[in-house]
Chain A
Amino acid sequence: MPKQQRKLFMEIVKENSKKILEKWVNHFSDELFTWALYKTSSKETAEDLVQETFMAAFNKIDTFQGKSQPKTWLFSILNNKVIDYYRLSAKTTKLTFSISENRGYELSDGLFDETGHWQSNEINPIWNQEEELLDNPEFNRVFENCIQNLPQKWKDAITYKYLTDKKTDEICQELEITVSNYWQIVHRSKLLLKKCLETNWTH
């Protein structure tokens, strides 16, 4: 393509990208913001992260293949921005009580013996009081602490689907994990939550 023509072509592409991005900002910022706010608990930080997400998206819009939905693509950019944000702030503050993933595997393996049977066959009374416990504030607080202890990545995996009732394959694309990795993480998390409740709820 002659130089002049190529320049014109690039201008058109850039103008189109701007129009597309403007549409995306109007369509998707609220949802991106809700997740960023949940992850950072700060309105200002969440807004900044959403802005950075769109800037990054604009700068690499030519890599957007249209293989995934625009929303999915934007969420995967946002999730990386959140990770970067925590990586930077972790140097100055200790933010989380999360256990490591390795510890998570160890603890969940520990619920079973070598032959794969439950270490304890007893069914804890918690599981016969579900109706009452659901509305018990103290029980919900204990559960909240149990969630906070999970490895960071596992916490994301189990809460993510409730953001907008996302489908499994969208969740996996946005968190950049495979489907089998995803359900394994959900499974391990539930085992740990079960164990944590049985240990810490003694009423």
Chain B
Amino acid sequence: MINSCEKTTQLIDKQIVSRLSFKEKIQLQLHKSICKSCDSYENQSRFIDVLINNSFKSKINKNVKMTQERKSKIIEETKKI
């Protein structure tokens, strides 16, 4: 049985975060070999991953750190409990 495109895109995204069973891998290969849109979706999905990573990294400010004073204050506060 050949999967639908909807099911195939699920497998494409699933394989990035989780593992596919042997059957799922075969089904994925089979569908991609006959469907250009899904074959392209696999690349699109990876590209979107790169974009998300870039967006996240650009918004995180690694230079802003919690001060040592503030950390000591937290430790002090727990001692009062």
Which residues of A come within 8 Å of B, CB atoms?
18, 21-22, 25-26, 29-30, 33-34, 37-38, 43, 46-47, 50-51, 54-55, 58-59, 112, 115-118, 121, 123, 127, 130, 134, 140, 143-144, 147, 158-159, 161-163, 168, 179, 182-184, 186-187, 190-191, 193-194
B57-81 interface bits toward A, Cβ cutoff 8 Å, 1 = contact, 0 = none: 1111110111000110111011101
CB pair B40–A58 under 8 Å, yes or no, is: no
CB pair A51–B74 under 8 Å, yes or no, is: yes
CB pair A162–B4 under 8 Å, yes or no, is: no
Interface residue count for B (Cβ, 8 Å)? 45
Tally of contacts, chain A with chain B, CB under 8 A: 117
CB pair B74–A127 under 8 Å, yes or no, is: no
- From residue A197, how far is it (CB to closest CB) to chain B in Å? 8
Give the chain B neighbours of A46 by CB distance below 8 A.
66
Which of A29, A37, A183, A191 touches B74 (beta carbons < 8 Å)? Answer: A29
